[in-house]
A and B are shown apart, each in its own frame.
Chain A
Amino acid sequence: MRDLFFYGLSAALLGMAVITVLARNLFRAALGLLGVLVGTAALFLLLQAEMVALVQVMVYIGGIMIFVLYAVLLTSELGGKMPGPSPLKWVFGLAVAGTALAFLVDLVHKAHCTLAASLMPAADGANDAATGAVNAAASSGATAVSGGVASMHSLGLRLLDAGPNGFLVPFELISVLLLAAMVGAIALARHDTREGA
């Protein structure tokens, strides 16, 4: 059931992604992106990463996506059709994307093989939960294991932990980064009256 749901979700995601990339209408492409983002949030839920899913919905869909839609609305006519890519570009893009895909699939394939190989000897004698989880993950379609799940509570504690494994400093730094980005965005986008005068 879970697998079925995953594959269905994956198919929908990829379909939305293709719409995002190919749609001639910019607004339609934006809606495709919205679909991808929602699908990804659902995938995160499926992977039991509730916190990431939540942030995905709030920041991505609620923040960035709105932002993109505003930009679309500000800069283009909604009904306008964009011209398609030239043949040269089309071939070029396909070549680059194909190269990337081939590389990544090759990498995943290799990782899959080594993962299976390295875990094979450990499989019989191991009673460690995590080993079992990975073993299961690598060898079959087995599902969730408790060791791979991070609860929202523990995430929060970890995020504000100042200890050696805590993420307090990156957390603070990212807030500074966001502030800087905000200031920069305002500075870039604002109409410079002095220049116009």
Chain B
Amino acid sequence: MNLTACLLLSACLFAIGAYGLMTRRNFIAALMSLELMVNAALINFVAFARFGGGGAGAAGLNSAHDAEAGSLFALFAVAVTAAEMALALAIVIAVNRQRGNLDIRELDGMHG
């Protein structure tokens, strides 16, 4: 287990989430895929906090390493995601009430 392995795991998780986001027709399912992508980002935060590697090209990278900041970023990201999810699910409920279904293809009010 090292930084590269964690980053690769995160990349895979992100790609899977992206695929789901592209293909899911149910609004909630798409949101779940979005959560996968956020999780991938969280893993990145924590992995960098754990192993360092910020400013990879610089010689004096280690003096800038700050494990606490990495963890705190992850915490903030969780909080922001919570806020985002709350709003998104409120929208889901509103849309469901208005249209009777959650098919994402029918939410095409922005078409040109």
**Quick check: B16 and A17 within 8 Å, CB to CB?**
yes
**Quick check: B68 and A108 within 8 Å, CB to CB?**
no
> How many A residues face the partner with a CB closer than 8 A?
98
Interface of B is mostly: helix
Would you list which residues of chain A between 1 and 31 have a CB under 8 Å from chain B? Answer: 2-3, 6-7, 10, 13-14, 17-18, 20-22, 26, 29-30
State A6–B79 Cα separation when bound (angstroms): 26
Partner of B15, one of A43, A89, A98, A150: A98
Would you list which residues of chain B between 59 and 82 have a CB under 8 Å from chain A? Answer: 59, 61-63, 65, 67-72, 74-76, 78-82
Binary interface encoding of chain A residues 71-92 relative to chain B, with 1 for a CB under 8 A from any of its CBs, else 0? 1101110000011010001101
State A128–B60 Cα separation when bound (angstroms): 11
Interface assignment of B9: CB less than 8 Å from any CB of chain A? yes
> How many B residues face the partner with a CB closer than 8 A?
80
**Quick check: B28 and A71 within 8 Å, CB to CB?**
yes
Chain A residue with minimal CB distance to B1? A6
Partner of A159, one of B12, B14, B72: B72
For A67, what are the chain B residues with a Cβ–Cβ distance below 8 Å?
85-86, 89
Interface assignment of A162: CB less than 8 Å from any CB of chain B? no
Interface of A is mostly: helix
Partner of A148, one of B36, B61, B67, B80: B67
B residues neighboring A (CB under 8 Å): 1-26, 28-29, 31-33, 35-36, 39, 42-43, 45-47, 49-53, 56-59, 61-63, 65, 67-72, 74-76, 78-87, 89-94, 96-97, 102
A residues neighboring B (CB under 8 Å): 2-3, 6-7, 10, 13-14, 17-18, 20-22, 26, 29-30, 33, 36-37, 40, 43-44, 46-49, 51-52, 55-56, 59-60, 63-64, 67-68, 70-72, 74-76, 82-83, 85, 89-90, 92-94, 96-98, 100-101, 104-105, 108, 111-112, 114-115, 118, 122, 128, 130-131, 133-134, 137-138, 140-144, 147-150, 154-155, 158-159, 167, 170, 174, 177-178, 180-182, 184-189, 191
